[in-house]
Chains A and B, each alone.
Chain A
Amino acid sequence: MAGSDAQSRSVLIWVCEGTWRASVDAGLSLAPAGARFTLLHVTPAEVADAAHGAYLGLFGRGHGVGRDPGARLDELAAASAGDLLARAAGRLGHDCEKLEIHGHAERAVVAASARADLLVMARDGDRARLGPKSLGKAARFVVDHAACPVLLVWPEPAPDIATIPPPPHAGG
């Protein structure tokens, strides 16, 4: 079975909101036969922290209206991450391990890449202007620091080769 074969390659797929379908599809079509799949989702801790901080800023005034939105966001985020991983696993259609991490997205992905033979991720960032800054901060960090080969996929069809800018003029 998958997982028991020491020869099988381990493929880590980083699933993110909005772009996970492209990552899963690329993993399915390009991973070597018999690969073991791991789906990874990271919930950024700072989102719930920001809501908790705003609640503290009310100086106690929020108690009457409701409870700490930070705790509520933590619950919602856990449910949402579980749901996303389940849908990604359904699309993958293979046995897979599901990893759900709460913390710093790019660092968590790099740490997980140490145990993988291939990392599949979708690019984010402003793709309207392609260039050095067109990768988002998290994606850029992972591409720079991942401990295994990275398969970087487009969330939408890749742009036509005709869209690259003309070469700079040769000095004359």
Chain B
Amino acid sequence: MALVAVLAWAVIRPRGWPEAVVAVPAAVILIAAGAIGGSGAVTEARQLGPVIGFLAAILVLAHLCDDDGLFQACGAWMARTGTSHPRAAGARRLLAQVFVIASVTTAVLSLDATVVLLTPVVFATASRLDVRAKPQVYACTHLANSASLLLPVSNLTNLLAFAASGLAFGRFAALMALPWLAVIGTEYAVFTRFFAADLSVRPRPDPDRRENDTGLPVFTLAVLALTLAGFAGASAAGVNPAWAACAGAAVLAVRALARRRVAPAALVRAADLPFLLFVLGLGIVVKAVVSNGLGAALAPLLPGGTSLPALLATAALAATLANACNNLPAVLVLLPLAAPSGAGAVLAVLLGVNIGPNLSYTGSLATLLWRRILRRHGSAPDLGEFTRLGLLTVPAGLLVAVLALWVSLHGIGG
């Protein structure tokens, strides 16, 4: 009941109130009722604390990169190279550029940055080049999920699994590199065929419209590169890589504050404290629910071991659960069940919960159904095309990703 209430509140969000309004009291009630012991709750909070801190640092980092014009610079680069090669493959070339930028942005700055910060820039670039925006925008929303496999920082689900798997940062990335590339390749192959008609339109930018090219924010890019190196270095040295993220965010924050480019309040808002509380509350509620029956009920469905069929079944189950509600509760439920089978099983869960949400465009059936009830534009949005695209990319993406993971596990060793 508690889990249902927390998730229902997070989907519906009455009056736009934060998700934490129900999640935190629900966690407190479950602790008070003894559904989860005080020490169990403390252990869970201890495990989630660093993950949440890591997430906050990445959110602030992405916000500061945006403030410094990183995404504007990406848009300007796409527009410039699109204009300088008018006879090149046209809209396909822009799509390839969007794929590269969206995949890298998602991997380094998390899917939140791609959805919220990059997508509007990509749309504006497409209009500026006089090409249709639909394939480009759909590429952003798809890659925000499917290209979030590479690094622990790419997705909150990865951060949670990273903490549970005990893998080092570099090893996580090494094991996920091949699945990441395989999924992006699959998406690109499907997109170029699915949107062949839209992509046949050549960019014809108006020569009268001058770009306001902001130039590349070199300092920010350098800090990002150092932060990435810091993730691997800190993890190899046995230090939590969250500190590298904090350091990177701190350097950019001090510079932005000193130049009065950003207000301290905006930085606090960027860290999104209510959401961090929600994750903590949700984690404790899920833990209580899993140890009081849900875990025992799901355990027979999850195959043990890391053979290829077991990995496939794990990823498929994870994708199904993620689609039923959302990938955040799905990963919290599945991690403790998959962890005993080793890192390979944990990574297979991630493939499922990260690629799976592309099947329904809100990432979960629950949100989708609620949206059908709300009917935002007075009429229900046309979901047919998006769903067909999801049906073409998700099963194929899952299959090649699991195969690639299996190859990586054998090549590098789980």
Q: Among the interface residues B127, B200, B377, B386, which one has the most CB atoms of the partner chain A within 10 A?
A: B200
Q: Is A97 an interface residue (CB 8 A)?
A: no
Given A55-B116, A77-B123, A60–B18 Cβ distance below 8 Å? yes
Question: A44 to B138, alpha carbons, bound, how many Å?
Answer: 13
**Residue ranges of B at the interface with A (Cβ–Cβ < 8 Å):** 10, 13, 18-19, 59, 62-63, 66, 91, 111-113, 115-117, 119-120, 123-124, 126-127, 130-134, 137-138, 140-141, 144-145, 156, 196-198, 200-204, 206, 269-272, 274-275, 278, 326, 328, 357, 361-364, 367-368, 371, 376-377, 381-382, 385-386
- What residues of chain A lie closer than 8 Å to B326, measured between beta carbons? 57, 59
User: Do A17 and B201 touch across chains, with their CB atoms under 8 A apart?
Assistant: yes
Q: Is A126 an interface residue (CB 8 A)?
A: yes
CB distance from A76 to the nearest CB of B (A): 5
Shortest Cβ distance from A52 into B: residue:
B376
Q: Is A111 an interface residue (CB 8 A)?
A: no
- What residues of chain B lie closer than 8 Å to A104, measured between beta carbons? 382
Question: A125 to B358, alpha carbons, bound, how many Å?
Answer: 25
User: Do A76 and B112 touch across chains, with their CB atoms under 8 A apart?
Assistant: no
Q: Is A169 an interface residue (CB 8 A)?
A: no
Q: Is A115 an interface residue (CB 8 A)?
A: no
Given A61-B156, A66-B66, A73-B137, A54–B196 Cβ distance below 8 Å? no
User: Do A57 and B363 touch across chains, with their CB atoms under 8 A apart?
Assistant: yes
Question: A21 to B119, alpha carbons, bound, how many Å?
Answer: 27
Question: A49 to B140, alpha carbons, bound, how many Å?
Answer: 13
Question: A17 to B123, alpha carbons, bound, how many Å?
Answer: 13
Query: Chain A, 113-131, contact with B by CB distance < 8 Å: what is the 0/1 string?
Result: 0000000000011111000
Q: How large is the interface on A (under 10, 10 to 19, 20 to 34, 35 or more residues)?
A: 35 or more
Q: Among the interface residues B10, B197, B326, B362, which one has the most CB atoms of the partner chain A within 10 A?
A: B197
- What residues of chain A lie closer than 8 Å to B196, measured between beta carbons? 125-126
CB distance from B405 to the nearest CB of A (A): 23
Main SS class of interface, B: helix
User: Do A65 and B377 touch across chains, with their CB atoms under 8 A apart?
Assistant: no
Question: A80 to B120, alpha carbons, bound, how many Å?
Answer: 12
Listed A/B pairs (16) with beta-carbon separation below 8 Å? A18-B130, A46-B382, A51-B140, A54-B361, A57-B361, A58-B111, A59-B19, A60-B13, A64-B275, A65-B113, A67-B116, A69-B116, A77-B127, A80-B127, A102-B377, A125-B196
- What residues of chain B lie closer than 8 Å to A76, measured between beta carbons? 120, 123-124, 127
Question: A58 to B328, alpha carbons, bound, how many Å?
Answer: 9
Given contacts A53-B368, A64-B63, 4 further A-B pairs with CB under 8 A are: A54-B141, A55-B115, A67-B116, A126-B200
Q: Is A2 an interface residue (CB 8 A)?
A: no
User: Do B197 and A64 touch across chains, with their CB atoms under 8 A apart?
Assistant: no
- What residues of chain B lie closer than 8 Å to A56, measured between beta carbons? 362-363, 367, 371
Question: A44 to B203, alpha carbons, bound, how many Å?
Answer: 19
Question: A84 to B363, alpha carbons, bound, how many Å?
Answer: 33
